[in-house]
Every structure is written in C-alpha cells, then in structure tokens.
A = this chain, B = another copy of it.
Amino acid sequence: MAALEGLIEALRRLPGVGQKSAQRMAYHLLQHDREGASNLARSLAEAVAEVRHCQRCNTFTEDPVCATCLDGARDGALLCVVETQADQAVLERTGSYHGYYFVLMGKLSPLDGVGARDIGLPALIERALDGLVQELVVATGFTAEGEVTAQVIAQALRPHGVKVTRLARGVPVGSELEYVDLGTIAHAYADRR
C-alpha cells in the first residue's frame, strides 16, 4: 500500500492535519472524490510553478509586480506593513486606506526560528527608503510576535527619518466596556483623544 501510505504521509505535512485527519482525507478522496484529488494535484503543481512574490510588496502574485502595486491611483507617500494578504484584504475592505502595502508573509518569531530575513525585513527597509514613502503605517497584529515585529521595524526605520505609525489600540466598536480585557482598556485610556 505504498501509494496510500505515501498520500497519507503527504497530507500530514499540511498545517493542522494529524494522522487521523490525513487518513480520513485520503479515504474520502479515493472513495468519494477522485476528481477532487486529481484537481488538487493539478492545482498544487500549478501554484508551485506560477505563484511567486511581488517584487515591490512581497505578496503572492503570478506577475513580477502585483495589481495593487501597479495601481497608480494610490498615494505613494503611504506604505502599510501587514503580516498577511488576509490582513491586507481587511484593511482594503475598510475603504479608509489608499496607500501601498508591504506584506511580510509572517511575523518575527524567534522561538520558531523565524528571523528578520524570513519575513522580508531587508526588502521592506529598502522599499521604505525609496524616497517617496513619508509614512510607514505598521499594521502587524497586536499579539506578542506582532508587537515585537512592529518594534523591530520602527527601530530600523526611524533613524532614516521615516515617520513610523502604528494602528491605534482601543475598545472595539460595539463593545461594552465591562466585557473588554483590562490591557485593552488601559491602552484605550493612554491613547485617549
């Protein structure tokens, strides 16, 4: 059963998939959805061959430069740093930001061996110092790793005279104060306006 074992082993490499899930996936594909299995095989090969990083913002794209970076109507003085494309999509949906992006594709996580080079910090610094960028909006997450990443970026760019800002921390819209955690309340107080 080399082929079935090999498939289960390959599925286990997916994040969040253990032995039992991998078995269930393999049985499902072979028993009920061989077309889905062939389709997944083709999609994987195609994505590996086609998907690369945007030369300007580091996001996934099939072209040398992604559509967002090619959008001439954006404000070149603003550069927003996000961890992932999903974070970028959320910011876009707010309709409140009209500059360009840099997608780290991760965040600093020394415990997991993820260093500055793995998340494209050198490329970000080069991009931020292109002479056009006046403000770098750091929109990494408000987790421990996201905060460290934001600090490292700020430390690297402030000496070069780039204004580095961070999304505001505060009480989420629609929240009762009673149910908001104390750290958030404390930050909302400190950043009151």
Which residues of A does B touch, CB under 8 Å?
1-4, 6-7, 9-11, 13-16, 21, 23-31, 33-34, 36-51, 60-62, 84-86, 105-106
Question: Which residues of B sit under 8 angstroms from A26, Cβ to Cβ?
Answer: 47
Question: Which residues of B sit under 8 angstroms from A42, Cβ to Cβ?
Answer: 10, 41
Q: Complex Cα distance A38/B47, Å?
A: 10
B27 touches A84 (CB 8 A): yes
A24 touches B15 (CB 8 A): yes
Q: Complex Cα distance A53/B11, Å?
A: 21
If A3-B46, A37-B44 are given as contacts, then 15 extra A-B residue pairs at C-beta distance below 8 Å, sorted by A number, are A4-B47, A4-B51, A4-B60, A7-B43, A7-B46, A10-B42, A10-B44, A14-B28, A16-B24, A27-B84, A27-B85, A31-B106, A38-B45, A40-B41, A41-B42
